[in-house]
Amino acid sequence: MELRITGPQRLNGEITVSGAKNSATRVLAAAMLSEGHVSLRQFPLTLVDAREKMKFLARLGAQFSEDPLRNVLSLNVNDLSVRGEENFNVPIRTTYLLAGGLLARGNLARIPYPGGCKIGSRGYDLHMMIWEKLGCEVEEKPDYIEIRGHLRGGTIDFPISTVGGTENALICGAVASGETLVRNAYVTPEVNDLIRFLREMGAQIQQEGQSLLRIEGAGGLLKGASFSIMPDRIEALTWMILGAVTGGSVMIRNVPMDSLEVPMIHLRDAGLDLFRNTSDVFVSPACVGPHGLQPFELATGTHPGVISDMQSFFAFLGLFANGRSVVFDYRYPERIAYARELAKFAPGAISASPGQIKAYGPAKLTAAQVTSTDLRGSMALIMAAICAEGESRVYGVDMAMRGYDNLPAKLAALGVDAQWSK
C-alpha cells in the first residue's frame, strides 16, 4: 500500500487511543481456552495481525461477531478443531500462542510457523522448549509445527527474558494439569493484561516479583469472560510526538499513563511540557517552550523504560531538537533499516550504526520517496512525510496498519490530507 501526502501539515483535533495491538492479539489467542462466550471490548478490529489470526481461527471453526461502532469483538470457540486444515500460510509472528487452546481440546495442535517461515528459521526454539517441558512431543512438518500430548505442569527456566515465551507459558500453563513454574518471565503491561484476562476466565496465576510466575493449571478449558483491552501505549506516544512537532492542538484520549511514565519523563526532559490528567493528554504549541526542543540521549530497554518499539519515534523527535540527539538500542541493535529511509527526508541529519541512531536538529524536512522496513519504522516515515515540505510517497504503509487501528481515519480526523492506494 502507498501513501501520498503533501506537507507540511499540522495536526488538530481529538483522537482516542485504540486497544493495544500487543495485548489484543495475545488475548485473542487466550480466548481459545474458553468453553463459553467471550466478549472483548476496545478491540482494534482493523489491525492486520488481528484480522489474520481471526481468519485462521475461523477456518478452525471459531465464530465471530463484530461491533465496529463500539469496538467489540465477540467470539465462540466451542467448535475449534485442527483436523482437516490445510492452509498454514499465516503472516503473523505469534502463531505459537494458538497451540494451548487446541491442545486443551484434543491433545493435538498444528500451528503455522511464525511469520509463515518454513524449517530453517528457528526463531521458535523457546516455544518448543515450553511444549516439551509441559509434557508434549513436538515435530516440525514441512508446512506447520505439530504438538501432541496432554499439557502437564512443569518448570520453565527461560535462558533469556522473553515476552513471547512468557505469554505462551501463561496460556499453556493455565489449562495444564498441575502447577507450572515460570522463571525469568518478562511481564510487560501487555503481559499483565493477558494475565488479567486469564484470571477473568478462571485461571489461577500468582506473580512473585517481576520475573517469577506460578500457574495452577485447570486441567482443561476455562470459562467465558467479558474483558476490555488496555489502551496502546505506543500509539499514544506516537500522537504526542507528532502533535507536538507539527505545532498542532491535539486532545489524546484513553492514554495509559501508568505504562508511559518513563517515556513521558524523557519527553519532558526534551522540552515537551504536556498538559495531562489521569487518562488524557493535550498537546498544543504552548507545550514547547521559548527555547524549543532540547537534544537528548536515551537507551531503550525493558519496561518501565523506553522500549525498543518506541525507538524510531524518539529518533524522529531528535530531528526537531536543537542539537545532536542519540538513541541507543542494545537489545535490538540491528533495528536501524528505517533510519536510512528516514534520512532521505533530511540528508545528513540522521545516521545509524548497529545499536545507535544519531539525529542532528533542527533539520529541514523535504519531500522524499521512501519504503517501509518494519511496523514502527513505517509509522515514523509517515510522520516525516506529514512534516516534510512537498509531496512525499511512502511505500509499504500496510506495515503500519499492523500496529495502528483505523490509521487513515484517525489521521483524517486530525486534519491530515493524504491519499492511500494499493
Q: Any idea which residues carry the catalytic annotation?
A: 117
> Cis bond leading into 362, ω under 30°?
yes
Strand partners, 40: 73, 227
Question: Secondary structure of the chain in the HEC alphabet?
Answer: CEEEEEECCCCEEEEECCECHHHHHHHHHHHHHECCCEEEECCCCCCHHHHHHHHHHHHCCCEEEEECCCCEEEEECCCCCCCCCCCCCCCCCHHHHHHHHHHHHHCEEEECCHHHCCCCCCCCHHHHHHHHHCCCEEEECCCCEEEECCCECCEEEEEEEEHHHHHHHHHHHHHCEEEEEEEEECCCHHHHHHHHHHHHCCCEEEEECCCEEEEEEECCCECCEEEECCECHHHHHHHHHHHHHCCCEEEEECCCHHHCHHHHHHHHHCCECCEECCCCEEECHHHECCCCECCCEEECCCCCCCCHHHHHHHHHHHCCECEEEEEECCCCCCCCHHHHHHHHHCCCCEEEECCEEEEEECCCCECCEEECCCHHHHHHHHHHHHHCEEEEEEECCHHHHCCCCCHHHHHHHCCCCEEEEC
- Distance from C-alpha of 48 to C-alpha of 220, rounded to nearest angstrom: 31
Instruction: State which amino acid sits at residue 321.
Output: A
Instruction: State which amino acid sits at residue 217.
Output: G
Residues 6+ away with beta carbon under 8 Å from 151: 100, 103, 104, 134, 135, 136, 172, 173, 175, 176, 177, 217
